[in-house]
Amino acid sequence: MEVNDASHRIIADLLEARTGQHMSESRRWRVTTALAGLFREYGITNVDQLVCLLADADSGKLAKRVVEALLNNETYFFRDRMMFDQLATKVLPDLARKRAASKRLTIWSAGCSTGQEALSVAMLILDQPGLWRDWTIDIIGTDVSEKAIEAARNACYSQFEIQRGLGVGQMLAHFEETPKGWRAKPALKTMIRYKQRNMLDPVEIEERFDLIMCRNVLLYFDPVRRVTAFDRLADSLRPDGWLLLGAGETAQGRTLRFRPTEGHQGLFVRTTESEASERHVFWPVEQKAAK
């Protein structure tokens, strides 16, 4: 079903205003599919009719549900397994050495969706008991979607969801079957705190993180908001911490705040002031995008 330009702009502007996500033309085809459930519930057949309902003064609840429906919450356990292998073999051992004195590790899963990513890194830690014994591990998952955060806190997954990325051994070790689905065991579930939050908002978490996982989130932002997002991430990361992006994402040429680590896909570290100065060739591009 074709979405006319005016209605598309209204829906796109609503999504961008509430979440900062830019709805490109390549994502336009998803609109009617994503909103199909709301169409049935409200007895309408197209986006034009939905826009008319949104014009009502009491449409706040509907607008919120439209935004929730348009958000892409696609996720699964150990998504892009190679990247989690890098965490297990390089990043986490490196942080174990750096934080040996304090025995405290802080991790932020930004854009955590329904919790599988945060749970995956928690499983990596639980599966290395010798390395993390007597440590304080604090994992925070945030997402702009209230519905996704509720699901993450519940930590109960269908048979389909639990089998996406998990082997039988991990499934039985860390989850228990219930009448409602596979629920994370207390040892795993209690490692993570969840909070609804837009990562574009000013940093409000005082503590800085040793590892930030922000995967397949930045690709939904326009260049201006992407620069802002990188600034938020850099301000939230310890100087010697690690940033993990998605397989198809990069910080190169997008920001002065991070540089890649050679030989490791998706892994970035903060740049020092001197490094940023040496890379000033990118600065005019960033300045132009930020205006």
Per cent of the chain over pLDDT 70 is: 89
Domains belonging to the chain, first-starting first, are 5-70 (no CATH), 81-282 (3.40.50.150)
Q: Where are the alpha helices (DSSP H) in the chain?
A: 5-19, 30-34, 36-42, 47-54, 60-70, 81-86, 92-98, 116-126, 129-132, 146-154, 159-163, 168-174, 186-189, 223-236, 273-278, 283-290
Please report the pLDDT score of residue 146 as a whole number. Answer: 92
Please report the pLDDT score of residue 190 as a whole number. Answer: 95
Nearest CA-CA partner of 226 in 142, 289, 144: 289
**Average pLDDT of span 30-55:** 86
Residue at token pair 């205003």? 17
User: Lowest mean pLDDT: which of 85-94, 212-221, 251-260, 280-289?
Assistant: 280-289
Per cent of the chain over pLDDT 90 is: 53
Confidence of residue 219 (pLDDT cuts 50, 70, 90): confident
Please report the pLDDT score of residue 276 as a whole number. Answer: 58
**Average pLDDT of span 119-131:** 95
Please report the pLDDT score of residue 291 as a whole number. Answer: 34
Instruction: Report pLDDT digits (tens) over 159-178.
Output: 999 999 999 999 999 999 99
- What is the residue-averaged pLDDT of the chain? 87
Q: Which is more confidently placed, 291 or 274? A: 274
What distance in Å separates the CA atoms of residue 107 and residue 110, rounded to the nearest whole number? 10
Please report the pLDDT score of residue 104 as a whole number. Answer: 96
**Average pLDDT of span 61-68:** 88
Please report the pLDDT score of residue 3 as a whole number. Answer: 56
**Average pLDDT of span 136-147:** 94
What distance in Å separates the CA atoms of residue 123 and residue 1, rounded to the nearest whole number? 43
Nearest CA-CA partner of 76 in 107, 110, 114: 114
Between CA 244 and CA 226, with CA 155 as vertex, the angle to 5 degrees is: 30
Beta bridge partners of 178: 181
Nearest CA-CA partner of 83 in 256, 243, 259, 269: 243
Nearest CA-CA partner of 1 in 41, 50, 42: 50
Q: How many residues does the chain have?
A: 291
pLDDT(20) > 90: no
153 vs 16, 114, 118, 142, 170, CA distance in Å?
A: 26, 8, 11, 11, 20
Please report the pLDDT score of residue 287 as a whole number. Answer: 39
pLDDT(35) > 90: no
| pTM for the structure as a whole | 0.85
Please report the pLDDT score of residue 285 as a whole number. Answer: 40
Phi and psi of 210, rounded to 5°? Answer: -85, -30
Please report the pLDDT score of residue 26 as a whole number. Answer: 63
DSSP 193-261: EEEE--TTSPP---SPEEEEEE-SSGGGS-HHHHHHHHHHHHHHEEEEEEEEE-TT---TTT-SSEEEP
Instruction: Report pLDDT digits (tens) over 232-267.
Output: 999 999 999 999 998 888 888 889 899 999 878 899
Instruction: Report pLDDT digits (tens) over 196-206.
Output: 998 888 776 56
Please report the pLDDT score of residue 182 as a whole number. Answer: 97
pLDDT(283) > 80: no
